[in-house]
């Protein structure tokens, strides 16, 4: 178990270093950091001096190392565009993105598993066929189109839900501002959460369905029925549990994708999160923000991966060999 965790942690560090290298390269290859820091009238000599002072002439490894060391402490420098520490900017935007991602994830998971199980158990029902067909449309429509359609129907035509922004937010803790505790905040979450989660929901649903159909064909399910267990015990106690083992992995990893994909949804709904911040920083070649965003997304992916692995480990006893080895 411990060896497993250590190996996983080591792999995570390697991944983070690789992403750091990409982020770091942004500074070198996307725009000239000196040009974005100084005015038109700065002389060449002054520029060279600044270049030296910033350590831009140091050997590559030295520069990379100092980038990694500062990044590890959450120091990504100052935003070119907003002249604020990048970390502060990100932290102020992160709650909006995480809340959106969390609600989308829950939506995607609950409905994905629910529909997946339903369509697997009622394989031949008309409702299953309807769900499957609609889900096909769901995966093939681009996210922004779904967002725009939802806005058109529910915000413009029916005027039931707001079409942009987070609504009212209230502070919880030092820097977290939540929209979950206000009525307008919750209403504002609905459309973006559905938009963001729809694709993942169909994905999870199709995965659960395929996996469940597979499990329902296994001998141990046949044997469970032959033992006279109730349908409920067979379907939900036995089949669903075995279905969830691989589903957990994929679903967990989807959460990372949800956060990464939130860029589009945040743009469509003018959601004040890190995705929207990233889009703006790309427009303005605000390299420190872009670099920090990349690292943040990578970190989220890595952490989720790690948690998923541990969960997997907890759910599947076959992986837990430490307690007792196969005997006889």
Partner 1 sequence: MAEPLLSVRDLVVEFPTRKGVLRAIDKVSFDIAEGEVLGMVGESGAGKSITGTAIIGLIEPPGRIAGGEIWLKGKRIDNIAPEAMRRVRGRRIGMVFQDPLTSLNPLYTVAQQLIETIRSHLDVSEKEARARAVALLDRVGIPAAARRIDDYPHHFSGGMRQRVVIALALCAEPELVIADEPTTALDVSVQAQIIDVLKEICAERGAAVMLITHDMGVIAETADRVAVLYAGRLAEIGPVRDVIQKAEHPYTQGLMGSIPTLAQESDRLVQIPGSMPRLNAIPEGCAFNPRCEHAFERCFRERPDPLDRGTGRRVACWLYDRVGAGA
* Sites of contact with partner 1 (CB under 8 A): 218-220, 222-231, 233, 237-238, 241-242, 245, 315-318, 324-328
Nearer to partner 1, 239 or 289 (CB): 239
Report which of 211, 44, 154, 180 is spatially closest to residue 101, judged by C-alpha positions.
180
**Cα end-to-end span (Å), the chain:** 23
Distances (CA, A) of 260 to 23, 49, 101: 16, 38, 9
Helix axes 126-140, 86-121, angle to 10 degrees: 150
Minimum CB–partner distance for residue 129 and partner 1 (Å): 17
- Crossing angle between the packed helical segments 287-315 and 86-121, to the nearest 10 degrees: 40
Q: How far is the CB of 308 from partner 1 (least distance, A)?
A: 17
Rounded to a whole number of angstroms, the minimum distance from the CB of residue 1 to partner 1 is 16
Structure tokens at 37: 């820091």
> Residue 161: what are its φ and ψ, rounded to 5°?
-135, 150
CA dist., res. 122 & res. 250, Å (int): 23
Q: How far is the CB of 266 from partner 1 (least distance, A)?
A: 39
The answer to whether the Cα torsion of 125, 127, 130, 132 is positive or negative is: negative
What is the 3-state secondary structure of 263-328? HHHHHHCCCCCHHHHHHHHHHCCCHHHHHHHHHHHHHHHHHHHHHHHHHHHHHCHHHCCCCCCCCC
Q: Which is nearer to partner 1, 53 or 226 (CB)?
A: 226
DSSP assignment of 52-102, as one string? HHTTTTS-HHHHHHHHHHHHHTT---B-TTT-SBHHHHHHHHHHHHHHHHH
Which C-beta is closer to partner 1: that of 70 or that of 122? Answer: 122
Cβ proximity to partner 1: between 94 and 315 the closer is 315
Q: How many CA within 13 A on the CB side of residue 307?
A: 14
**Which is nearer to partner 1, 41 or 219 (by Cβ)?**
219
When the beta carbons of 13 and 321 are compared against partner 1, the nearer one is 321
Residue 58 CB, nearest distance to partner 1 (Å)? 55
Least separation, in Å, of the C-beta of 76 and partner 1? 44
- Give the nearest distance from C-beta 225 to partner 1 in angstroms: 6
Please tell me the distance from the alpha carbon of residue 262 to that of residue 296, in angstroms, as a whole number: 13
Cβ distance to partner 1 smaller for residue 208 or 302: 208
Joined together, the tokens standing for residue 295 give 């690292």
Distance of closest approach, residue 219 Cβ to partner 1, in angstroms = 4
Do β-strands 176-178 and 170-172 pair in parallel, antiparallel, or remain unpaired?
antiparallel
Tell me whether residue 173 or residue 317 sits nearer to partner 1 (CB atom): 317
């Amino acid at each position: 178990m411990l060896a497993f965790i250590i190996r996983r942690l080591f792999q995570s560090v390697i991944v983070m270093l690789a992403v750091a290298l990409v982020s770091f390269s942004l500074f070198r290859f996307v725009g000239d950091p000196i040009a974005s820091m100084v005015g038109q009238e700065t002389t060449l000599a002054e520029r060279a001096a600044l270049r030296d002072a910033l350590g831009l002439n140091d050997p590559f490894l030295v520069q990379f190392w100092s980038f990694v060391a500062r990044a590890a402490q959450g120091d990504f420098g100052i935003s070119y565009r907003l002249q604020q520490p990048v970390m502060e900017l990100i932290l102020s935007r992160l709650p909006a993105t995480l809340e959106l991602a969390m609600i989308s994830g829950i939506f995607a998971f609950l409905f994905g598993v629910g529909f997946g199980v339903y369509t697997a158990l009622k394989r031949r029902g008309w409702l299953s066929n309807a769900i499957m067909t609609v889900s096909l449309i769901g995966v093939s429509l681009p996210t922004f189109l779904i967002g725009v359609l939802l806005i058109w129907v529910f915000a413009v035509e029916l005027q039931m839900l707001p079409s942009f922004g987070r609504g009212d937010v209230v502070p919880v803790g030092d820097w977290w501002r939540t929209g979950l505790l206000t009525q307008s905040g919750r209403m504002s979450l609905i459309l973006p959460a559905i938009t963001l989660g729809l694709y993942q929901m169909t994905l999870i649903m199709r995965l659960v369905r395929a996996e469940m159909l597979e499990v329902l064909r296994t001998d141990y399910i046949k044997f469970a029925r032959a033992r006279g267990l109730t349908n409920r015990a067979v379907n939900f106690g036995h089949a669903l549990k075995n279905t969830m083992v691989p589903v957990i992995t994929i679903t967990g990893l989807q959460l990372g994708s949800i956060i990464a994909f939130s860029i589009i949804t945040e743009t469509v709904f003018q959601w004040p999160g890190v995705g929207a911040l990233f889009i703006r920083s790309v427009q303005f070649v605000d390299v420190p923000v872009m670099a920090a965003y990349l690292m943040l997304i990578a970190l989220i992916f890595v952490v989720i991966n790690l948690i998923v692995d541990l969960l997997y480990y907890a759910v599947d006893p076959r992986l837990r060999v430490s307690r007792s080895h196969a005997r006889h």
